[in-house]
Structure 1
């Protein structure tokens, strides 16, 4: 994949794929510069979505994560890039992955850790039903053991869907804030 040097580059979610599903979805990377809302069943499709939030931010404090980190924490002073991954299906199920341009440091997968890291969104996206974010019982997310750039998801969607925030190391494709 070639990256253009004209203007800030935001291609830090590089790719993704649904490998098995009970619907007709595909991986879709959204552009956060387009105005859209996420949550409250605004998509209702079988697609696996991802978009980039704030990029290459030096954390002014430690943040807690549900997956990864050093004992569940990404320390203050760490430079991170933030990304949002979600599945907003009415009743679908899928297994797939999202691939990033930098290694994954951690994942906020539940409402409390997502709310505590909302300061890293910094985009024009409207976040609805934030109290219902996170994963539902039985959903699974894991960082690939052999390739830390790859995040695996096994999700069963229902209203309002599954939402996580992924933190990667400094992103070579992201802009510096």
Structure 2
């Protein structure tokens, strides 16, 4: 009987959409009283234009496991600032929308980080990977400000670090990870 169930279970696993996801995060040090918040995109919301105004570090998943039909340019990572055509990527949005504050923290993903769009032009060029249930407002103000830093952990490619000084309208980046093999099981 088990030999008849295995093909059915395998078909179910292969038919289930896979996703690379934000696993969690933490604020390690901060001028403020925030925490890490993983947003649920099943409930529509607006992001941008100072609509959060908290000391929290936020993240949510955008489009998942998309086969790139053309290369995309990134500000950090990639191969010489490019993620190649033919690569399968998952997209995630990470932001800090405070009135005035500084924080140092990280976000963990279940797949290694490939690259980061951190400035207006690269974010606009990758909006095709946005989440359809999220309303992105004041998109012309996205990105990082001078002095803000973002980097992938040298010991753990699944961890993204941020050191951001937020002010109006905040700091916003798009993070691209590899396809999640763990989510396929």
Q: TM-score, normalised by structure 1?
A: 0.92
**Deviations 1:127-158 (CA, angstroms, capped at 9, x unpaired):** 00000000011100000111000000000010
Match among 20, 32, 37 for residue 29 of structure 2: 20
Q: Compared with structure 1, are the counterparts of its residues 162 and 142 closer, same or farther at alpha carbon in structure 2 (3 Å cutoff)?
A: same
Moved over 4 A (4+): 7-11
The equivalent of 1:125 in structure 2 is 134
Residues 83-162 of structure 1: matches in 2 within 5 Å? 83-162=92-171
Q: Compared with structure 1, are the counterparts of its residues 31 and 172 closer, same or farther at alpha carbon in structure 2 (3 Å cutoff)?
A: farther
Q: Compared with structure 1, are the counterparts of its residues 142 and 18 closer, same or farther at alpha carbon in structure 2 (3 Å cutoff)?
A: same
Structure 2 spans left out of the alignment, 5+ residues: 1-12
Q: Over the residues paired in the alignment, what is the CA RMSD in angstroms?
A: 1.6
- Richer in helix (by share): 2
Q: 2-side partners of 1:53 and 1:164: how far apart?
A: 12
**Contact map agreement 1:57 1:80 (CA 8 A) in 2:** yes
**Deviations 1:32-84 (CA, angstroms, capped at 9, x unpaired):** 12110000000000000000000001001000000000000000110000000
Q: 2-side partners of 1:40 and 1:9: how far apart?
A: 32
Q: Cα offset for 1:8?
A: 5.7
Q: Compared with structure 1, are the counterparts of its residues 173 and 115 closer, same or farther at alpha carbon in structure 2 (3 Å cutoff)?
A: farther
Paired residues, number: 170
Match among 45, 63, 73 for residue 54 of structure 2: 45
Q: TM-score, normalised by structure 2?
A: 0.88
Larger Rg: 2
